[in-house]
Structure 1
Amino acid sequence: MFSIDRSRARRRGSVLALLMATSLGLAACSGTADAGGDAAAAAAGPHLADVTPLADPHTFVGPSTARLAESDVVPVATDPRPQLPVTVTDAQGTSVTVHDTSRILALDLYGSTARTVVELGLLDSLVGRDTSSQFPEVAHLPLVTANGHELNAESILDLAPTLIITDTSLGPWDVVLQMREAGIPVVVVDARRSLETVGDLIRQVGAAVGLPDEAELLAERTQERIDRTEREIAEVAPPAGEGLRTIFLYVRGGSGIYYLFGQDSGTDSLITGLGGIDVASEIGWTGMEPVTDEGLIAMQPELVLLMTKGLESTGGVDGLLEAVPALASTPAGENRRFVDMADTEILSFGPASADVLEALAVAIYAPGATAVAE
């Protein structure tokens, strides 16, 4: 059983979904069927233990791209036996009884729900995927989202799922309601994502598929990997209180969207986990708001994290600095200190969180070991 502040989750999920839908619309215009598919095909990055870190990350000049190191998905169980039927109260307070997990759709904005199902040992039960689920094990499955992150009712019904696990980050919501009316059990999990909520998400998904014990094992394993990676990062990052002043920008140049993510957006935990100083939270910037010149000048960031397609949409570093002139007057702009990562990876808080942290840490603290793009 799990519960959540319903209005807050839906509000945050809907805003971020709108922004991300713009992201996928950008990809569609460029002729890319699966936004982020290029990330799946990109060369893997190195592990943090295999690189030589910068002597002083504050003085490095130039952008870099974070790439996940090669890592296989290793389920916590090879032949899991779901305890069914199971009844859960989902994140919206709805009581849902699940009788059959043989045909699962696990759908969200981040791809983390599907990844969780796979790592619980139910890969063969997945019958489709969302646009964000790009990892190799599920890349062959048919898409049930269109025009970015828009749920397609016909595609979903064609797959005859016996269980749908989703959250409020995808829409239109009428499609979710339609699936329930069609008699399909739909379990809505918490839409909030951060390093702090990873274990909760895993447990919620595990409860929905009747694998609470396996979920506990996976949550513990995931947290251990996050803790270990954060310790490794601490060894190459500046001492506490002296980290890089960092912000996360969500940009879509073609649409004129420039958002700064702050406290309670999830990126605050990501920045802290990377050994940085989350300056948006430092000045009280909460959630996701349009960036302002005053805000950037007040923050004086040394490092900017972005999604790869967002940076591309502005024409690269030069285009971004031209579109946001105030950024050029910050240490990050002066040193062209921008780190981007695939749209479907950088905020995919879930079982792969430690891999994302490691890839970003390599790009930040050993940028010569990553592919550098202007």
Structure 2
Amino acid sequence: MDLKKKILFFIFVAELAADCEQAVDPTRVIVAGGSLTEIIFFLGEESVLTAVDITSNYPGSATSLPSIGYVRALSTEGILSLNPTLILGEEDMGPPLVVDQIKSTGIDLRVIEEDYSLNSIKNKIICVAKILGIEKKGDQIFHEKLNSTIIDLQALSLFNQNNLKKVLIILNMDGTSPIVAGKNTSANGFIEMMGAENAVTGFDGWKPVGAESIIQMNPDMVIITERGIRNFESIDEFIEKTSLGFTSAGKNGKIFALDGMKMLGFGPRSPDTALELAKIIN
């Protein structure tokens, strides 16, 4: 690593550490990002929540809190009217103008970094615990509730890598075409957590693809979000209209509909979900 890269790396680490420092006043917290809301409930600190965004739908009690709208389409006025002392946001919090306006007010705003990996989940949980001033409690809860799951998942992931299976994750439908996950997505990270490989190799991000392309990918497992499956009356109709019956996944009965946040939110529920799927992929 040359000097310039070293300097940039240490600046990044310093900024990340600063974002996880204990907040001066974490008593009225607004959250923009479902995984962060899940973490606060996971830590037993939900009493500090003042409002959440609409992706914060778990646990069910989170939906009774005041809403600030969609995480990527927030309103400065709406947030400030709730008098927060601390705002926690995921990386896709926006739009950028709103983020800049909130920063200019001097309100404590933390955007939590993540990289869609198993380690990222632990780092995110501990970071939130540090911000709330409960680092020791957070570490204890993590080890009690998640550590054994993560150890089991890591071991099974390594085993599965000896016989790599292809997984296709579908977010929703664009007309008759499934919108599938390419590289550099949360779904790609989730697939790698299972010790599998993404059936999509030709692009980054989320894109609609046709039935012929899916048949050529020939995934061994297909997962569609519960939001996506609502476009169909049944899983059988979904399989028929997307031609998934011609794939290995369709032939072997490995097509599933799952809660998108549980799978792709990279919060406390994601390791358990990955572990259950990792057990049945081979």
**Is TM-score (shorter-chain normalized) higher than 0.5?**
yes
Q: How does 1:234-253 map to 2 (within 5 A)?
A: 241-242=162-163, 244-253=165-174
**Structure 2 stretches lacking a partner, 5+ long:** 1-9
How far apart are residue 289 of structure 1 and its match? 3.8
- Alpha-carbon separation, structure 2, partners of 1:184 and 1:160: 9
Q: How does 1:162-201 map to 2 (within 5 A)?
A: 162-201=85-124
User: Does residue 343 in structure 1 map to residue 264 in structure 2?
Assistant: no
1:304 maps to: 222
Q: Which digits, 9 at most, give the CA deviation of each residue in 1:43-63, with x for residues without a partner?
A: xxxxxxxxxxxxxxxxxxxxx
Q: How does 1:129-278 map to 2 (within 5 A)?
A: 129-133=52-56, 134-146=58-70, 150-221=73-144, 224-230=147-153, 241-242=162-163, 244-254=165-175, 258-274=178-194, 277-278=196-197
TM-score of the aligned structures, taking structure 1 as reference length: 0.59
1:99 maps to: 24
- Alpha-carbon separation, structure 1, partners of 2:230 and 2:245: 17
- Amino acid in structure 2 at the alignment position of 1:138: A
- Alpha-carbon separation, structure 1, partners of 2:193 and 2:20: 35
- Amino acid in structure 2 at the alignment position of 1:248: I
Residues 337, 141 of structure 1: alpha-carbon distance in 2 compared, 3 angstrom cutoff = same
How far apart are residue 200 of structure 1 and its match? 1.9
**Structure 1 stretches lacking a partner, 5+ long:** 6-87, 366-374
- Alpha-carbon separation, structure 2, partners of 1:154 and 1:300: 48
- Amino acid in structure 1 at the alignment position of 2:110: V
Q: Which digits, 9 at most, give the CA deviation of each residue in 1:175-219, with x for residues without a partner?
A: 222222333111111153332311221233234333444444455
| C-alpha contact (below 8 Å) 1:247/1:261 kept by paired residues | yes
SS at match of 1:128: strand
SS at match of 1:357: helix
- Alpha-carbon separation, structure 1, partners of 2:19 and 2:153: 36
SS at match of 1:313: coil
SS at match of 1:143: coil
TM-score of the aligned structures, taking structure 2 as reference length: 0.75
How far apart are residue 119 of structure 1 and its match? 3.3
1:65 maps to: none
1:352 maps to: 269
1:288 maps to: 206
1:89 maps to: 15
How far apart are residue 136 of structure 1 and its match? 3.8
Q: Which digits, 9 at most, give the CA deviation of each residue in 1:72-108, with x for residues without a partner?
A: xxxxxxxxxxxxxxxx8349x8899842111111221
- Amino acid in structure 1 at the alignment position of 2:113: D
1:37 maps to: none
- Aligned residues between the structures: 271
How far apart are residue 223 of structure 1 and its match? 5.2
Q: How does 1:310-325 map to 2 (within 5 A)?
A: 310-321=228-239, 323-325=241-243
Residues 259, 127 of structure 1: alpha-carbon distance in 2 compared, 3 angstrom cutoff = same
How far apart are residue 306 of structure 1 and its match? 1.2
Q: Report which structure shows greater RCO (CA 8 Å, sep ≥6).
A: 1
Identity of aligned pairs, percent?
24
More helix by share: 2
- Alpha-carbon separation, structure 2, partners of 1:162 and 1:355: 33
| C-alpha contact (below 8 Å) 2:20/2:131 kept by paired residues | no
- Alpha-carbon separation, structure 2, partners of 1:312 and 1:149: 23
Question: Which has the larger displacement, 156-165 or 219-228?
Answer: 219-228
How far apart are residue 142 of structure 1 and its match? 1.5
SS at match of 1:151: coil
- Amino acid in structure 2 at the alignment position of 1:247: L
SS at match of 1:345: helix
SS at match of 1:89: helix
- Alpha-carbon separation, structure 1, partners of 2:87 and 2:189: 28
How far apart are residue 241 of structure 1 and its match? 3.4
- Amino acid in structure 2 at the alignment position of 1:167: E
Q: CA RMSD in A?
A: 3.8
SS at match of 2:260: coil
Residues 218, 89 of structure 1: alpha-carbon distance in 2 compared, 3 angstrom cutoff = farther
